[in-house]
Structure 1
Amino acid sequence: MSLMIQIVDIHGREILDSRGNPTIEVEVTAQTETTGKKITAIESVPSGASTGKFEAVELRDGNPRYFGLGVLNVVDHINNRIRKELLGMNVLDQVKIDRRIIELDGTDNKENLGANATLGVSLACASCAAKALDMPLFRYLGGTNAKRLPRPMMNVINGGVHAANLLDFQEFMIVPVSASTFSEALRMGAEVYHYLKLLLHEDGMLTAVGDEGGFAPDLHTADEVFRYLTKAVEKAGYKPGEDIAFAMDAAASELYDEERDVYIFPGEEVIRSADEMISLYEHLIDEYPLISIEDGLNEEAWEGWQKLKQRIGDRVMLVGDDLFVTNSKRIRCGIELDAANAVLVKVNQIGTLTEAMDAIELCHRAGYQSIISHRSGETEGSFISDLAVAVNSGYIKSGAPCRGERTAKYNELLRIEEQLTLAKFEKR
């Protein structure tokens, strides 16, 4: 006889994210059949600024409240339509719950209920189930094989739509590759981050931070950024490439001009073709210890991605974010075309936990790396930390070691590390 822990209430509310914009928080309450004990869990939903056109739909009210960004209609969907559908279900039946939500929405991209509604309920159900079983969330999601902590990819310099500066590429990250544990990696990253701040300050650069906690100085090119990162790594007493590697998110779809089929760099006052973009990446890989390039080309440029993979796929991770949007259909297409070798996983791009975990499983079977990621508009929730450990993901992106909504994810991983007996990183 299977254990029954019945969902007895679902309640959504409008809260604020790290950019001061409304988002969704969901409480799920379940009751054990045997003792009558009630368990409540709360999860929240992030929001992106740089979004792919193929992401699941995030619904907004569109009225004068909060400049049209309110989510009261989404709250109504949760508190009425979804609540009515899920009451009485077993909170332990995550796949069945998510399928019921997907069927209720009835669209491929969650445009009926909103991915912010479906995801909030899906995550809160999983958290409630873990609490009901008195299990760590990562263990409930991943079972006994959840044993690997992700290596942090820390966004320390922001550009693009994440910062009001002249830098065209969106994110520049440091990756502590020589660290043997997560806590060591976090310390190394924080030390480099603080030395970077000192270097920027010495040169009269602004050290205000962007949406994800990285600094937003008025640098113009990737070369300038990587030179600063190299100096910061050396100042901290580490060796570039040996101890600390670099990663970047080009967010090329934000630079792409569809009519002219070119990439426009307003900060550099340069226009590049797809071939010139690839040549630029080759130059950066030759000059700096760059191990990962995210969204190097436009989200619909499948042939360009194939060429990118052929040219540099054996040297770096080529990460699809806008290209794949955590969607198994698009990931499967990329695998068949041999267009990348890594997937960025953002749970709100697809709208339910089950679909996100299916996408992760698919990319792992194909030999792709998975990188579990936050969004630029975040909450204090740390669900993605547990998810990264549950699926043994190689990496996590949670921004700089700065701002509470970013450090919440890293601090949760420190707690998880204490619970795992085999918490050391696998050797690169």
Structure 2
Amino acid sequence: MPAVTVVGIGADGWQGLPEVSRTTLREAEVVIGGRRQLDLLPSECAGERTAWPSPLRPAVAGLLAAHAGRRIAVLASGDPMFYGIGRALAEETEALRVLPHPSSVSYAAARLGWPLEDIEVVTLVGRPLAGLAAALHHGRRLLVLSADADTPGEVAALLRDRGFGPSRMRILEQLGGERESTSDETTADVWSRPRPPGDPLNIVAVECRRAPDALRLGAVPGLTDEAYEHDGQLTKRHVRAATLGVLAPAPGELLWDVGGGSGSIAIEWMRTHPSCRAVTVERDPVRAERITRNAERLGVPGLRVVTGDAPAVLDGLPRPDAVFVGGGLTAPGLLDACWEALPDDGRLVANTVTLESEALLADAHRRHGGTLVRLAVAHAVPVGGFTGWRQAMPVTQWAAWKTLDTLSGADR
């Protein structure tokens, strides 16, 4: 038996376990799990029972060390490797065996007749409700893992607030157990009526429907400017889309957004993939608070907002994969500090509309290579009884890759 065996268990408890899982739990000298899971075990599982403390994650290594040398079984809900304790255990020990049970998501998809590959799963267990907003697209099906009995009502409120009140909802409780139930279909708009609390062990099934007057937000960079609260300090839509294209976010990467303004570059970087991370630096506290609100509204509450003057506040930040400088270019040493912070193959993109900052970008281009481009956008506007073009201020953009070879950004 490995040092640690993780046993998935469902709402059906002991009777729903295969014999290999039962044998593991009978032979374990220590059984670790949540109090609810531990209470599902019969007396024939005679090992020492230890409930996870709160917070759980910092306690994992200590508990494993405290019981080193003993046969340890860990109880987990459903599939331990799907938003479960299996991930934390795998990070602590290579001597790990996993005995999965059907996850609540698999049960829900089966009950609803929804193909799993067409569903997006969002967990709200230990995560902010606002993260759900990034998954809201008309016609998409979502399975939301609830934190407790209050989660369905909170999901309905967020759907209404984000313009998805017509979305269809069903609540599936105690999946796989004797008390399993599925609610009648309703909508987020109707859910606003008072209703008794349900079971804390539930999943919320959502078929997204956008209200006719709601703002449409796409899945790629270049959201409409109206999606943001701002005071004019906003990288406008077309320039933003071009900038994100050059920054080229990839899953798991970290961006520094220096001179955050309204936070649009960092927010849309994070919206490209759930694992993308960003730190935005803004010296104005009012704007910093506005960035936080925009991030919550647009479904990326994990955006880290640092208030202070760059480059001083850059010290101590985690090393970025890419840096965008959208303001403060004339601050002494800023551009060089951002360049030095990059690893090999890191990217730096800087935008400006002023001649003074443009001179700095031309000098950086001379020293580090990359590309210099000028982005110009014009909008059609009324001119008397006719229509003409109104030119926005052109944006000069420098983009460079920090590499050991001589390839420029245009060649990569």
What range describes the TM-score normalised by the shorter chain of this pair?
Answer: under 0.3
Structure having the higher helix fraction is: 1
Structure having the higher strand fraction is: 2
The structure number with the bigger radius of gyration is 2
Query: TM-score, normalised to structure 1's length?
Result: 0.23
